[in-house]
Structure 1
Amino acid sequence: KRRIMYLLWPLLFLHVSAQLKQPKQEGSVRLVGDLPSSGRVEVYHDGQWGTVCDDGWELAEAQVVCRQLGFPGAISVKPGGQYGEGSGPIWLDDMNCKGSESSLSECSFKGWVVCETVKKLSNSIFLHFSVDNSLGLSHDLGLLFDSGNSCDFRINVQDTSEEEELTFCVHKMILMFYPELNITNDSRNLAVNVSQTCHPHVSAFLRYLYTRQIDVSITSAQCLHQLAFIFGVKKLMEDVGRTFTLLLPEDNTFLTQVSMYEYGVRTGDLVLQENVLQYLSWNCEYLISSPVLSTISFHMMDALLQRSDLILNDEAFLLEALETWIQDKGEEISSDLQASLLNHIRFLLIPADKLYEMQFSSSVLRQNHEKLYLTGLLRGFQFNYLPRIYTGDEWSVVFNDTTVNYPYHHYGQNNRIQTFSTPAHPSALYREQKVQWQAQVFLSAQECSNYGISCYYFPVARFVGYGNQERYTSTIRYSNRLILSCKYENNVFHVQDFKNSMAVVPNNSSMDLPNPCPDDYSFRFVVRPEYI
């Protein structure tokens, strides 16, 4: 027999959904490949992952795998070695699925484990084995919740206004697994207050208490996290909290991200707050241009202004955004709070020509805090501060074309190369002195070889300074960045630095955020000088 690799392309919902990562359990399946929706099928049995061997694997088997993973179905099956040879034992052989099974282990198959033996075992040896049919228990408990048969406990769900109430009949025995609910033998009902917007998700959450399985979407994540917080289901809180990072790129209006951050503040979830702030920092320029900017709270604005990973045109642009935000807030932001925010502006990084223009500003901040404002302007003619990631034209270059051309040769001729110059530093002292840079993107080993470089992973970016850069090594260092973003959307999904002038773009599974546009994204090279 040979190991068979399968390509399973699941049917995608029009709305965005994310599956919680299931714990390893008997009969679990996974896809090993670059994408969560395609790859080699592996099965978990007897404490380890193994592969599937079957020459007759068809779409029916693929349908079962996709549904077990939480997808609605499979589009195609592609046997072969596309994803490389699997490791571990061959767990399943001669599969025969109808296509309606809920898990692969429910299909008929030859048996667990295909073994090679050195010698025939003696008939006198007692052979024993384990039978584990627990995989179907979650499904059966879900049916029990759906039917409500023999339920003996009522949960009354109200919103804070008590205008609407939902009632669910559940089984007290199930709730006894959750000690924070303080359910006793004498308990007959439980009343909880849940915001009305989350009422549509209560049923799915209660079903999770039975099955330990649930689908999480961009519209349900916050409500499920809130319900888990109320019911004390910490494991679900942690799992849903991790999915927030997957959902962050899906709302270009930033309404969801702002709501998630405020919710993280209310529940004290510092990890959630940091994940949202990082995403908004990377997409700061888009956030500033969005109508949602005027709605963000003081503590969110305060947290953003303190970060050094903000990606935006320049520091003057950030100051203008702060002034606009304060004007929109009006008397809601006191004079002391305005001053505390103004102190976060890095005047030292504003170019001298813009500092000069700002002397004549008539903004609210200038009028209310003239002394503090002028002090910042005067300090701005020095430069000893950690910069943010400024993407103005004088500090960055973008590659939108990542195709391979074959004009005259049989190998790919790399036309993804640009040379440009930047000021040695934004400060007035170095602004007129220029540094030359060369930015390149390589998509193949041949392209790297053409430039005398060895590359092992693709795509890979190269960013090299040359010319008179050596002159500044004792006073300036360059912490340059590579930014990946969708070409036609306000969505930055990955930022990384360069190691020895090279930056290997990670695959989708190892990025901080999932790539929402895997075939249509751009590379931005950003020069980031720091005064030593």
Structure 2
Amino acid sequence: MARSCEQGGSPWVYAGTLLISLYFHSVAVGGAALKQEAVLENSQYVLNHTMTLVQRMDSLLTLGNGSDVTLRIQTISTDEVKVIQAHTLVLSLQSDVFEEMLLNHNASVLVLRETADCAAVFDKFVRYLYCGDISVRVDQAIPLHKLASKYHVWGLQHGLTQYMTQHLSSDSPTGHVVCWYQYAVQIGDLALRDNCLQYLSWNLSSVLQSAEWGSISEDLVLSLLQRSDLILQSELELYEALEAWISQNQPASLTVESALRAIRYGMIPPQHLFRLQKQSGLMVKYYESVRDLLYLAFQFHSASPIQLAKFFDVNCSIFTPRNYLSSSWGSPWIINNPTRDDRSFSFQTQLGPSGHDTTKRVTWNALFSPRWLPLSVRSTYTEVGAMLPTRTDGGRPRIIVTPATSSPEFAGVSFQKTVIVMAKQQGKVVVRHVYNFHQSTEEAGDFLVDADLQKRASEYLIDSSLYLHIVVKPLYHTLIVARK
């Protein structure tokens, strides 16, 4: 810095000259390779010395050669200070915020006040400005995103948002998806917020068993409890996890009452409801707040659904199942080498969640085909005795779920079918996609439409196998709603 002032030149001019000389030096390093090239007439070659230039820029930052500005990063509420020798030209080219600061600041020292988490990664952030690459850990994503947003480094900000979206399943000591969700809400990043919420909803069973569950905010707990697409073992599992969360966080009474009223007691078998009434300290304390829901749940379990539907709206949330993984509501299905041929599979579910239907079973047939032939093509095979082809290389994966038999007891009940596709991400098995069937159809029209099952490394496969879980959710129909 002193050298540039003694020469009487502008620091910007000197820094620019220095960077240009660095560039041509990096080109010269790779120049010897040109002599070995047989250059053909009228041909063009692309000379790429990017890595050499990046190395030179990294050295420039590390050694501080030709530095014309000192960054003093002060950690808020502490005496900790980090010093970085930097170059005005680089900072200004990468950030309009830095450019404005430097134009309005005549001193050679720029003082920046940052929170502890941001100060800890500030050197990484500055290196990105020089080199254009950065290594990120899960716990560094938010502070780096804060710095990128604060200093308007939009490329880094966008890249970090993508990183967080793609690393929701990464392992971390205390969990990170909840923190990322809360941060996304804070900054108004709706896409990241929705991706975090979907991940939590689809992998709720594992979240409930993790340390992350205890750190969930009141608003997030209430948001999750309202959703019907939660994937978990049972409603009882959700109640017990909620009880643990309330015990750990001690929220206000109004929050507890709202959370308890969001539990779908009609989905909990009566024997467990009786036990909760006597053995759950939370239920004993707040019994009056949910007594009407418990009474309705016991009525639901004791009466015929058709009889109940004459007087109550059985389409309300208390009677609507979530995506339960217990054997009463579906079955896992592992398909080895899914591109090989068609597969079929049978399983049973409970007719309905009502205690009146606990002993009644519905048998389901599932058919999977990796390359299903469209109906328009199949219809051309009409010759007598001709085999009807079901697969073709031009087809796409299909799955069909149908009841094996029909019964008069099905009256008043419709079945919503859900196919859950598992995948391995960052070494962890998580829900990759959820396909819902319309109640009146037998298949999901977009099933694996973007999946390339031919690739062994397909993100939809685990060890070359397709891991599915089929869930059948019975929904009762309201016949007559009683007048109030």
TM-score, normalising length from structure 2? 0.69
* Alignment: residue pair count: 403
Q: Displacement of 1:163 after TM fit? A: 4.1
Q: Does 1:371 align with 2:288?
A: yes
Q: Distance in 2 between matches of 1:112 and 1:220?
A: 51
Partner of 2:82: 166
| Alignment check: 8 A CA contact 1:457 1:504 kept | no
Partner of 1:507: 451
Partner of 1:453: 390
Q: Distance in 1 between matches of 2:434 and 2:207?
A: 17
Per-residue CA distance 1:261-314 (angstroms, 9 max, x = gap): 233344343332222121111110111122332233323322322222210112
Give me the identity figure in percent.
25
Q: Distance in 1 between matches of 2:146 and 2:239?
A: 35
Q: Displacement of 1:392 after TM fit? A: 0.8
Per-residue CA distance 1:37-61 (angstroms, 9 max, x = gap): xxxxxxxxxxxxxxxxxxxxxxxxx
Partner of 1:86: none
Q: Displacement of 1:326 after TM fit? A: 1.1
Of the candidates 325, 338, 361, which is equivalent to residue 278 of structure 2?
361
Aligned pairs for 1:64-103 within 5 A: none
Partner of 2:328: 394
CA RMSD of aligned residues (A): 4.2
Q: Distance in 1 between matches of 2:41 and 2:152?
A: 39
| Alignment check: 8 A CA contact 1:486 1:520 kept | no
Q: Distance in 1 between matches of 2:39 and 2:368?
A: 50
2:69 partner amino acid: F
2:130 partner amino acid: Y
| Alignment check: 8 A CA contact 2:412 2:476 kept | no
Q: Does 1:151 align with 2:67?
A: yes
1:522 partner amino acid: Y
Q: Displacement of 1:371 after TM fit? A: 1.9
Q: Distance in 2 between matches of 1:460 and 1:252?
A: 36
Larger displacement relative to structure 2 (461-470 or 254-263): 461-470
Of the candidates 393, 400, 403, which is equivalent to residue 465 of structure 1?
403
Q: Displacement of 1:339 after TM fit? A: 1.1
Cα 1:412/1:231, change in 2 over 3 Å: closer
| Alignment check: 8 A CA contact 1:252 1:490 kept | no
Partner of 1:438: 365
Partner of 2:4: none
Q: Displacement of 1:324 after TM fit? A: 1.7
Q: Does 1:530 align with 2:475?
A: yes
Larger displacement relative to structure 2 (290-299 or 165-174): 290-299
Larger displacement relative to structure 2 (384-393 or 291-300): 291-300
Per-residue CA distance 1:346-379 (angstroms, 9 max, x = gap): 2343344544544x33423323322222112123
Q: Distance in 2 between matches of 1:138 and 1:353?
A: 71
| Alignment check: 8 A CA contact 1:480 1:529 kept | no
1:464 partner amino acid: T
| Alignment check: 8 A CA contact 1:338 1:365 kept | no
Q: Distance in 2 between matches of 1:355 and 1:112?
A: 85
1:437 partner amino acid: W
Say which SS state the counterpart of residue 169 (structure 2) adopts.
Answer: helix
Q: Distance in 1 between matches of 2:52 and 2:472?
A: 56
Q: Distance in 1 between matches of 2:461 and 2:142?
A: 21
Of the candidates 173, 198, 204, which is equivalent to residue 278 of structure 1?
198
Say which SS state the counterpart of residue 367 (structure 1) adopts.
Answer: helix
Q: Displacement of 1:136 after TM fit? A: 7.3
Say which SS state the counterpart of residue 438 (structure 1) adopts.
Answer: strand
Q: Does 1:201 align with 2:135?
A: no
Larger displacement relative to structure 2 (222-231 or 485-494): 485-494
Larger displacement relative to structure 2 (231-240 or 494-503): 494-503
Q: Displacement of 1:244 after TM fit? A: 0.8
Q: Distance in 2 between matches of 1:229 and 1:241?
A: 11
Cα 1:492/1:504, change in 2 over 3 Å: closer
Q: Distance in 1 between matches of 2:41 and 2:147?
A: 40
Q: Distance in 2 between matches of 1:374 and 1:515?
A: 45
Q: Distance in 1 between matches of 2:465 and 2:64?
A: 48
Q: Distance in 2 between matches of 1:489 and 1:135?
A: 35
Partner of 2:244: 324
Partner of 2:8: none
Q: Displacement of 1:248 after TM fit? A: 1.1
Cα 1:200/1:252, change in 2 over 3 Å: closer
TM-score, normalising length from structure 1? 0.64
Larger displacement relative to structure 2 (216-225 or 285-294): 216-225
Partner of 2:96: 179
Aligned pairs for 1:99-248 within 5 A: 139=54, 141-142=57-58, 144-177=60-93, 178-181=95-98, 182-187=100-105, 188-197=108-117, 199=119, 201-248=121-168
| CA radius of gyration, larger in | 2
